[in-house]
Amino acid sequence: MSKRILIAEDDAFLVKMYQLELQEAGYEIEIAKDGQKAIDSITKKEPDLLLLDLLMPDVDGFGVLTHIQKKGYKFPVIVLSNLSQEIDKEKCKALGARDYFVKSDMELDQLATLIKKYV
């Protein structure tokens, strides 16, 4: 049974890139276009891994992390954001994120390897 990965990302092109890269690797992809939709999805069904963007409409990534922490979900969360400040990284880690990457500094082909570490 393939692992279910929830991707919270508001940029449609990047969603497409994620899908192209990860579907190839055999993962079940679910997309949430904002924080609230991500929470809804999680509430409906816990994913095996969450790839979380930070800057999203309505509820942002920090809100999602807060929710997850509050609800006590144990699935790993990897933050993939274009915010690069230490303060954001620390904040995310404090809210339970397992890892943090700046998207523009990351090569797409590294993504599968990264996910493998957690699922």
Partner 1 sequence: MQRNPSPKQRKKNCCDQSCSCRNEGHPSEDADALCPCHNKDAMYRMLFEKSPEGVFILESQGPDAGKIVDVNVAAARMNGYSIDELKTMKIVDLDTPENVQKAPSRFRQIVDGEWISDQIMHRRKDGSLFPIEFKAGPLNINGKIYILAFVHDITKNKEAEKNALESKHFLRSILNSMADPVFVKDKKHRWIFLNDAFCAFMGHNRDEVLGKSDYDFFPKDQADVFWEKDELVFTSGKENINEEQFTDAKGVIHTIVTKKSIFTDPDGNKILVGIIRDITDQKTAEAKLQISETRFKTLYDKAADAIMLLAPEKGFIAGNAATIHLFECRNEQEFKTFTPDQLSPALQPDGRASSEKMKEMVQTALEKGTNFFEWKHKRMNGEEFFATVLLAKMELEGKVVLQATVRDITETKVAEESMRKLQNDQQVILDAVRAWIFYKDKDNRFLRVNKAFCDAMSMAREQLEGTSLFDLYPKEQAEQFWKDDKEVIASGKPKMGIVESMQSPEGLKWVQTDKIPYRNAEGTIIGVIGFSVDITSLHETRQKLEQEAENAKKFMEAVEASSIATVITTTEPGVLYANSAWEQLTGYSKEEAMNQNPRILQSGKTPRELYNRMWATILRGDEFATDEIINRRKNGSEYNAELHVFPIMENGKAKYFVGLQTDITLRKRADIAKSEFMSLASHQLRTPLTGIRWGLSLLSRREKLTLNQQALVNELQQQTSRMAESINVMLHLSRIEAGKMEVKNKPCALSSVINELCGEFHPLAEQKMQQCQFRLDDSITLTTDPALLKEILANLITNAIKYTPNNKTIELTTKVLGNEVHINVRDEGFGIPQDQQDKIFSKFFRATNVVDKIPDGTGLGLYLVYALTKLLGGRISFVSAENEGSTFSLTLPLTPPSNP
Closest approach, Cβ 73 to partner 1, in A, equals 27
Q: Which of 2, 23, 85, 113 binds partner 1 (CB under 8 A)?
A: 85
Spatial separation of the C-alpha atoms in residues 13 and 87, rounded to whole Å: 27
Radius of gyration for the chain, computed over Cα atoms and rounded to the nearest angstrom: 13
Piece of 29-37, 42-50, 67-75, 85-93 that binds partner 1 (CB under 8 A): 85-93
Total site size for partner 1, rule CB under 8 A: 22
Per rule CB under 8 A, is residue 26 in the interface with partner 1? no
41: phi then psi, degrees, rounded to nearest 5 = -60, -45
**Between residues 72 and 105, which has the closer beta carbon with respect to partner 1?**
105
Contacts of 103 (CB under 8 A, 6+ apart): 14, 80, 81, 82
> Token pair 């993962």 is at which residue?
27
Binding interface with partner 1 (CB under 8 A) = 11, 13-14, 17, 20-21, 24, 55, 82-87, 102-109
